[in-house]
């Protein structure tokens, strides 16, 4: 059966037209709802709570929550959640109250609404003090106090009242006296009309109410601390029942406090005043209030049970109403679509079936892809969260050690102990440097191969430097560090990327130290083969640690995945071995290992290096001393960096140093004074090192300018060359390498400069 194309087009047009009408009608309905003005009625709610009309208050709040969710009014939703938490405190449902206040705080925080956050924190403070959960109270109160104080809010004094109650409930009488006395002094010196009100209305007589509440607790504290000194009863006797009852009308323990007040008056007339008639009168009043408090407490417990049941029923009714509303909307839409489809189905049956089956197939395919993608993203997010949690610990541990050891070094007078602390400080610093290098390396590599910067170097020198870097870490764990390097020609050098290769060895050795509790770590370098141009070396890093099970071999070198079997043994970042593998791929090499659980592991790899002979000319150049005093200018905005660089320059014989902290000063000084060498920081405010160098080159093209920077030299080399920078020294550096580079600029020795490797190894 075949249909004319024109008829099919007309029918499809009618279908889409009615569908668009339906969608537009729904959108209009939503827009009309959103356009309706809605503001949360805080005043009405507070009146209901004060009158103990908690059921009505709950209905009001749940309606507000339902409306705000439906129309995406986040501010109203946050206010409603906070109000529901306040209502639930009155029913002693503290856990629920806490959860709603926290929900409100999260929404206020996402909206950057400080007044709302102030109210939510005040709700938590009130919940914890009534729950008598002092641990949580003590943790949240300073945060709430700081925020309300910064906002100049009346909540500050309400929170302070809860602090007084916290000391009262916990019988910390001295603190109660101190806080209530301080509170009275602060509140008496505050003009409440100047405060920024946290709600949409001002509470009447708030200052008078809070003042009397502070006085009540202050009077109790004075009597308890002084042990019934008659002078300290003066404040307590000045408070009458009627006035206190009006102030405490919203307090959950009003009659108990009235009973306590009259009981202390009874004690006064019994012990201090010796007036038995008055004493009996106040004792009788105290007992009456006590019995009333017990009766109300029993009634409240019964009412709370009934009220909670009503609240649950109300929530269920609201949820049921929402479900019915959703179903009605869904049914209306289905009915409209069904009507349209049925009316045209007999004309476009074949077309409908075609698109139906095709659409169904596509949807299934998309759903499968979405499920797979979602699972992948969930796993990635989980790994990311775990990685940053571990990374936070890994960064804090050496930073804490550095700070603590610096303090111990400053305080210690014993030279032996001070040197021990200094060794540990260097170890923590080295570990932190390696960890940060790994993070930056992972970011730069993006798990791809790295471009190597090959320069002449000696293997034994690089290995010995790695050993010096990790030696203290091994010593601190009581591990022996063993080294074996096959002998080689003294003049024989290899072309090597010292930074990348050092990172390989340092990661492997630190990894071995981390998983070894006792025994030793061994670094072995064996010559496998060589010819006139190349030499192949085998490198081994052995330990006597926990070992690796064979079942984990497939994930050892995978980023993050290796945490699966290391979690119980270490809190390492999980990046070190993956970076080792990636860097070795750049060397056209592969890493492998042999391991026996609980006995140890040996990681090994082989690299073929190109040989190069550096004859005596280089050594001779490195030993050239300046013919005259050399004047060096160091430009850096960091005072500590200036100090370190200045001290290192002055260690070199025949060199003196001057420092400036910004580019403009440097330009002005260079115009007035001749310098033999300039060390330039790259990252500086106002003018960076590139701009400063360009300005200097306008009037002085001859003075050598060396970039002294923590930036990766590969990334900045082109910009440095374009600006007129002669050389890049990457921080952190080894002093001897630094000295060699600086010394090479004491004369016209350009040839030697080209083979100097100034990066840290």
Q: Which of 153, 162, 88 is nearest to 114 (CA)?
A: 153
Q: Contact at 8 Å (CB) between 38 and 76?
A: yes
Q: What is the mean pLDDT of residues 582-604?
A: 91
CATH code that applies to domain 442-614: 3.30.565.10
202 DSSP assignment: P
Q: Contact at 8 Å (CB) between 554 and 420?
A: no
CA distance 73 to 468: 62
Q: Contact at 8 Å (CB) between 293 and 255?
A: yes
The contacts of residue 273 (CB under 8 Å, 6+ apart) are 230, 279
Look up the pTM and report it.
Answer: 0.43
pLDDT at position 217, please? Answer: 86
CA distance 181 to 175: 10
194: exposed, middle or buried (Cβ count in 10 Å: 0-12, 13-18, 19+): exposed
pLDDT at position 214, please? Answer: 87
DSSP letters spanning 555-617: GTTSTTTTHHHHTTT----S-HHHHHHHHHHHTT---EEEEETTTEEEEEEEEEEEEEE--HH
Distance of CA 747 to CAs 101, 165, 233, 376, 675, Å?
A: 72, 78, 91, 60, 13
Q: Contact at 8 Å (CB) between 476 and 424?
A: yes
CA distance 151 to 118: 8
Q: From its phi and psi, is residue 112 left (phi > 0), alpha (psi between -120 and 50) or beta?
A: left
Q: Which of 583, 424, 423 is nearest to 508 (CA)?
A: 583
CA distance 100 to 106: 10
Longest dimension (CA), the chain: 118
624 DSSP assignment: P
Domain boundaries, the chain: 5-35+331-337+345-371, 442-614, 624-753
Q: Is 645 helix (H, G, I), strand (E, B) or coil?
A: helix
Q: Is 543 helix (H, G, I), strand (E, B) or coil?
A: strand
pLDDT band at 323 (very low <50, low <70, confident <90, very high): low
pLDDT at position 276, please? Answer: 76
What count of other Cβ atoms lies within 10 Å of the Cβ of residue 576? 25
655 φ, ψ (degrees, to nearest 5):
-115, 140
Candidate from 205-209, 296-300, 525-529 with smallest mean pLDDT: 296-300
CA distance 714 to 659: 27
Q: What is the mean pLDDT of residues 614-619?
A: 53
H or E, element range at 492: strand 492-496
* End-to-end Cα, the chain, rounded Å: 80
* pLDDT mean across residues, the chain: 78
Residue with tokens 């340092």: 506
CA distance 331 to 325: 10
pLDDT at position 633, please? Answer: 96
Q: Where are the beta strands (DSSP E) in 581-719?
A: 592-596, 600-613, 630-635, 655-660, 677-680, 705-709
Q: Is 677 helix (H, G, I), strand (E, B) or coil?
A: strand
pLDDT band at 435 (very low <50, low <70, confident <90, very high): low
What count of other Cβ atoms lies within 10 Å of the Cβ of residue 484? 11
Cis peptide before 715, with omega less than 30 degrees from 0?
Answer: no
H or E, element range at 728: strand 727-730
pLDDT at position 713, please? Answer: 60
Q: What is the pLDDT of residues 15-44, one digit of tens each?
A: 445 444 444 444 344 333 443 344 566 666
Return the CATH fold of 624-753. Rossmann fold (3.40.50)
CA distance 7 to 323: 41
Q: What is the mean pLDDT of residues 124-130?
A: 92
Candidate from 356-370, 541-555, 692-706 with smallest mean pLDDT: 356-370
Residue with tokens 């992972």: 442
48 vs 525: which has the higher pLDDT: 525
Structure tokens at 1: 């059966």
Q: What is the pLDDT of residues 629-644, one digit of tens each?
A: 899 999 999 888 898 8
């Amino acid at each position: 059966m075949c249909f004319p194309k024109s008829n099919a087009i007309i029918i499809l047009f009618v279908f889409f037209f009615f569908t668009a009408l339906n969608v537009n009608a729904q959108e209009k309905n939503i827009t009309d709802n959103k356009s309706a003005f809605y503001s949360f009625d805080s005043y009405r709610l507070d009146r209901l709570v004060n009158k103990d009309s908690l059921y009505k208050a709950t209905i009001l709040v749940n309606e507000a929550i339902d409306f705000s969710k439906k129309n995406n009014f986040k501010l109203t939703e946050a206010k409603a959640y906070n109000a529901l938490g306040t209502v639930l405190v009155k029913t002693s449902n503290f856990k629920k109250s806490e959860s709603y206040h926290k929900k409100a705080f999260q929404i206020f925080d996402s909206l950057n609404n400080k007044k709302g956050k102030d109210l939510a924190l005040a709700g938590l403070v009130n919940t914890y003090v009534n729950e008598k959960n002092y641990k949580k109270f003590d943790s949240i109160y300073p945060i709430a106090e700081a925020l309300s104080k910064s906002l100049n809010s009346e909540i500050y004094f309400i929170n302070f009242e809860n602090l007084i109650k916290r000391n009262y409930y916990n019988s910390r009488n001295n603190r109660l006296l101190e806080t209530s006395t301080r509170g009275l002094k602060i509140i008496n010196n505050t003009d409440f009309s100047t405060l920024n009100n946290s709600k949409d209305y001002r509470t009447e007589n708030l200052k008078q109410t809070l003042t009397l509440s502070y006085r009540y607790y202050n009077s109790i504290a004075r009597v308890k601390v002084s042990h019934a000194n008659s002078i300290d009863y003066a404040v307590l006797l000045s408070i009458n029942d009627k006035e206190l009852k009006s102030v405490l009308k919203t307090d959950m323990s009003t009659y108990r406090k009235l009973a306590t007040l009259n009981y202390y008056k009874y004690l006064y007339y019994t012990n201090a005043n010796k007036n038995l008639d008055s004493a009996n009168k106040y004792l009788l009043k105290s007992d009456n209030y006590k019995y009333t408090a017990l009766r109300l407490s029993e009634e409240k417990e019964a009412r709370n049970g009934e009220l909670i049941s009503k609240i649950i029923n109300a929530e269920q009714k609201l949820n049921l109403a929402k479900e019915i509303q959703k179903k009605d909307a869904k049914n209306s839409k289905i009915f409209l679509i069904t009507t349209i489809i049925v009316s045209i189905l007999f004309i476009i049956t074949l077309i409908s079936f075609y698109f139906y089956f095709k659409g169904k197939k596509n949807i299934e395919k998309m759903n499968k892809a979405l499920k797979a993608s979602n699972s992948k993203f969930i796993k990635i997010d989980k790994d990311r969260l775990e990685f940053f949690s571990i990374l936070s610990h890994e960064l804090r541990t050496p930073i804490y050690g550095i700070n603590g050891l610096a303090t111990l070094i400053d305080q210690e007078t014993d030279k032996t102990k001070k040197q021990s602390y200094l060794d540990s400080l260097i170890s923590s610093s080295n570990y932190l440097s390696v960890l940060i290098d790994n993070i930056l390396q992972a970011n730069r590599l993006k798990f791809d191969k790295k471009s190597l910067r090959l320069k002449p170097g000696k293997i034994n020198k690089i290995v010995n430097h790695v050993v010096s870097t990790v030696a203290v870490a091994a010593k601190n764990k009581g591990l022996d560090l063993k080294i074996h390097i096959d002998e080689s020609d003294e003049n024989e050098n290899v072309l090597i990327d010292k930074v990348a290769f050092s990172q390989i060895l340092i990661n492997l050795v630190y990894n071995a130290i981390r998983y070894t509790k006792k025994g030793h770590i061994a670094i072995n370098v064996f010559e496998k083969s060589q010819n006139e141009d190349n030499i192949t070396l085998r490198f081994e890093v052995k330990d006597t640690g926990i070992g690796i099970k064979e079942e984990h071999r497939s994930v050892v070198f995978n980023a993050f995945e290796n945490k699966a079997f290391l979690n119980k043994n270490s809190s390492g970042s999980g990046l070190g071995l993956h970076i080792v593998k990636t860097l070795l791929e750049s060397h056209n090499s592969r890493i492998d290992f042999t391991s026996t659980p609980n006995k140890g592991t040996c990681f090994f790899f082989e690299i073929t290096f190109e040989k190069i002979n550096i004859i005596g000319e280089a050594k001779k150049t490195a030993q050239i001393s300046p013919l005259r005093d050399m004047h060096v200018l160091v430009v850096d905005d960091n005072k500590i960096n200036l100090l370190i660089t200045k001290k290192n320059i002055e260690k070199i014989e025949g060199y003196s140093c001057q420092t400036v902290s910004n580019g403009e000063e440097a330009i002005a000084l260079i115009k007035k004074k001749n310098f033999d060498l300039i060390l330039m920081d790259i990252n500086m405010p106002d003018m960076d090192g590139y701009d400063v160098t360009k300005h200097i080159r306008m009037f002085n093209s001859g003075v050598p300018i060396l970039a002294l920077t923590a930036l990766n030299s590969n990334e900045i080399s082109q910009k440095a060359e374009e600006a007129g920078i002669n050389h890049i020294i990457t921080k952190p550096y080894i002093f001897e390498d630094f000295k060699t580079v600086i010394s090479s600029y004491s004369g016209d020795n350009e040839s030697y400069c080209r083979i100097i490797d100034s990066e840290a190894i």
